[in-house]
Amino acid sequence: MQIVKTVAEVREAVRAWRAEGLTVGLVPTMGFLHEGHKSLIVRAVAENDRVVVSDFVNPTQFGPNEDLESYPRDLERDAALCEEAGAALVFNPEPSEMYAPDACTFVDMDALTGELCGKTRPTHFRGVCTVVSKLFNIVTPDAAYFGQKDAQQLAVIRRMVRDLNFGLRVVGCPIVREEDGLAKSSRNTYLSADERQAALCLSRAIFAGQKLVEDGERDAATVTEAMRAIIEAEPLARIDYVKMVDFDNIELIDHIADGQPVLCAIAVYIGKTRLIDNFIVE
Ligand code: PAF
């Protein structure tokens, strides 16, 4: 497995693979990889001849008071996980390799980004769309793999790929959880022992909401209120949002209609750490 720092090296590797007629999968990540990322890489390896993992903490998707500086990084551990999962190349650029000092072109989206995480983090999806477009242009993959844990991001990327005619498949992969239910996240490492315990209110709320819907509840407020009550019972938790939206358009809904793909998403601060989780009603 290669670990490279420059766009030119990625292009060179991809050119050689293409010359052999091989297919290429891309798993975009911000590093500090866990089992959730590994499941994306394993799936990409199963479906493509060669897999590129990008490992880049993208500065443009962090707001001014967010955790860009403290975001955890460990390239050595990431590389070992990528190799074990069967990746062919890890792309770990410096910010200066990805963004010229006078870079002034961004990919922005008029819809899908005004609710949920886009409401709390107004510049976040502009940064995500921009870096993911750049990665698509650098790697030119046949397919790209994203976790359903960032469900709004998945919907946004799908729409961007459609709108900008990127010739690739976007593959959404299921949430991977710890044994006790907490969704895997690089940000879980910020949690103290007490906070780690408190964070279980997210998955408890998700499972309870999912059960209500499975049992036939169709009123969005009834489901989200039941979920809020579970989170509010946890003293270390502060709700950012608990919402139900149409999964295609990320617009709020009152009622779950038959056949409509619905996303029920939550964001909760546990102490200073903001965690997200969700379930999807297909
Ligand atoms: O989901 C992430 O880790 C990031 O938002 C992504 C897609 C790698 C873009 O930086």
Q: pLDDT band for position 68 (50/70/90)?
A: very high
Rounded-to-integer distance, Cα 197 and Cα 236, Å:
10
Which ranges of the chain would DSSP assign to H, the alpha helix?
Answer: 7-19, 35-47, 75-85, 95-98, 116-120, 124-139, 151-163, 193-198, 200-214, 220-232
CA of 197 to the centre of ligand 1 (A): 26
How far is it, in rounded angstroms, from Cα 43 to Cα 85? 9
Q: 174 by DSSP, 3-state: which?
A: coil
pLDDT score for 101: 98
Give pLDDT, residue 221.
Answer: 98
Q: Is 71 exposed, middle or buried (0-12, 13-18, 19+ CB in 10 A)?
A: middle
CB of residue 55 inside a 6 A radius of ligand 1: no
What's the chain's Rg over C-alpha atoms? 19
pTM of the model: 0.97
Kindly give the number of the ligand 1 atom that is closest to the alpha carbon of 58: 10
Is the CB–ligand 1 distance for residue 30 below 6 Å?
Answer: yes
Is the CB of 60 within 6 Å of ligand 1?
Answer: no
Atom 8 of ligand 1, nearest CA residue: 29
For ligand 1, whether the C-beta of 132 sits within 6 Å is yes
The one-letter code for the residue type at 14 is V
The residues, any chain, with a CB within 8 Å of residue 190's CB and separated by 6 or more, are: 67, 70, 272, 273
Q: What is the mean pLDDT of the chain?
A: 98
> Would you say 164 and 23 are in contact if contact means Cβ atoms under 8 Å apart?
no
How many whole angstroms from 61 Cα to the centroid of ligand 1?
9
Helix (H) or strand (E) holding 91: strand 89-91
Would you name the residues annotated as active-site residues?
37
pLDDT tens-place string over residues 173-215: 999 999 999 999 999 999 999 999 999 999 999 999 999 999 9
pLDDT digits (tens, 9 = 90+) for 115-155: 999 999 999 999 999 999 999 999 999 999 999 999 999 99
Quote the CA–CA distance of 39 and 174 in Å, as a whole number.
9
Residue 277 CA to residue 32 CA, distance in Å, equals: 19
Asked if 90 contacts 79 with a C-beta cutoff of 8 angstroms, the reply is yes
Ligand 1: residue of 150, 170, 188 to mutate (most ligand atoms within 8 A of CB) is 150
pLDDT band, residue 10 (cuts 50/70/90): very high
